[in-house]
Amino acid sequence: MKTLQELEAIRQKKINELNLRESAEGNTRIVVGLATCGIAAGARPVMSAFVEEVHKRQLQNVTVSQTGCIGLCRLEPIVEVFVPGQEKVTYCKVTPEQVSRIVAEHIVNGNPVVEYTVGSYE
Amino acid sequence: MKEISLHILDLVQNSIRAEAKRIDLTIEEYTDKTNDTLKVVLQDDGCGMSEEMVKSVTSPFVTTRTTRKVGLGIPLFKAGCEACGGSFKIESEEGKGTLLTGVYRHSHIDRPPLGDIADTVLLIATGNINIRFVYTHRVNENEYMLDTLELKRILGEVPLDDPEVIMFIKDFLVNNESELYGGM
């Protein structure tokens, strides 16, 4: 049985990091559509893949969050990426396999993966 | 939807939209001869619905969404339960919240697998950190629960959606789920 005890240790470790993080400005946001259409098209594993990739690379100031249906159901799973100071980028028909490339090229290096975007799909 | 856990993830979005402060998800599985059921109970303290809305919400042509005219979350779930020898019930009161109960016959050949429920619970719990989420899963006599209020109490000022915290919760869920079914 796994218990919650370990969580206390994580807290201790994180408190120090929190102080460092406060000075950084602007969060990059990764937003995944989790309405009926998105979920049915496979958005859950995509969302999990982003969460894991962000953790694996120890990215600070990057949040992964959820939103509802944005009205383009046939293109789900849809992922929007907001980098402060840059235009929003919308990816469509995202698969978990594409996630590491989006994180590496777009989130880390600042170059959107154009071939996965809505613009290039349509 | 290939998994019951995907339906759950979908239905919870309704509670979030209803601005719930607390969401309780209970899954009960019984697999003996006298009781052969898989029951999903979802309760929230959101804005609730009028009597009229409750009656019509199982129709696919009713939705509060403005981007399109169909709402398939509840109708799909209901159809799934009923196709598997089960039942579906929704009760709601304006200003108080909504209670949704879906039952499948556990051994029914068409019953979808529960699926990756750990993943669903993780995304609900860590994706909506301002909502208290209480999850209970029972399989025959085994049971465990996760309450985000308890997690927050331990974490103090460390946010629930910190990547390392998320990974811990994931481990916690995966471990406990597998133990429910007698694994490890």
Q: Determine, yes or no, domain membership for A114.
A: yes
pLDDT, tens only, B76-113: 999 999 999 999 999 999 999 999 999 999 999 999 99
Question: Between β-strands A28-33 and B87-93, what pairing exists: parallel, antiparallel or unpaired?
Answer: unpaired
CB contacts under 8 A, A 60-79 vs B, are: 63-66, 68-71, 73
Question: How many angstroms separate the CA of residue B91 from the nearest CA in chain A?
Answer: 21
* CATH number, domain with residue A66: 3.40.30.10
Q: Which residues of A touch B158 (CB under 8 A)?
A: 10-11, 14-15, 18
In chain B, % helix, strand, coil (3-state, to 5) comes to 35, 25, 35
As a whole number, mean pLDDT of residues A17-32 equals 73
If one counts the domains in chain A, the total is 1
* 8 A C-beta contact, residue B104 and residue B86: yes
CA dist A43 and A49 (Å) reads 10
- The answer to whether B117 and B27 are in contact (CB under 8 A) is yes
Q: Does B161 touch chain A (CB under 8 A)?
A: yes
Query: Is the whole model's pTM more than 0.90, yes or no?
Result: no
Q: Residue A78 domain-assigned?
A: yes
Asked, for residue A2, whether it belongs to a domain, the answer is no
**A39 inside domain:** yes
Q: What phi-psi label fits residue A33: left (phi over 0), alpha (psi between -120 and 50 degrees) or beta? A: beta
Token readout for A107 is: 């989130």
CA distances from B163 to A86, A97, B80 (A): 24, 20, 35
Q: Please write the tens of the pLDDT for every residue from B21-35.
A: 999 999 999 999 899
CA–CA gap between residue A67 and residue A33 (Å, rounded):
5
Q: A18: helix, coil or strand?
A: helix
Domain assignment present for residue A43? The answer is yes
Q: What percent of chain B has pLDDT over 90?
A: 76
Contact B77, B7 (CB under 8 A): yes
The answer to whether position A77 is within a domain reads yes
Q: What is the per-residue pLDDT across A55-99, written as a single tens digit (0 to 9) for each?
A: 999 888 898 999 988 889 999 999 999 999 889 999 999 999 999
> Could you tell me if residue A13 is inside a domain?
no
Nearest residue of B to residue A16, measured between CA atoms: B158
Q: Which domain holds residue A38?
A: 22-120
Classify residue A86: in a domain, yes or no: yes
A113-119: list long-range contacts, CB under 8 Å, 24+ apart: A116/A91, A116/A92, A117/A89, A117/A90, A117/A91, A117/A92, A118/A72, A118/A75, A118/A78, A118/A90, A118/A91, A118/A92, A119/A90
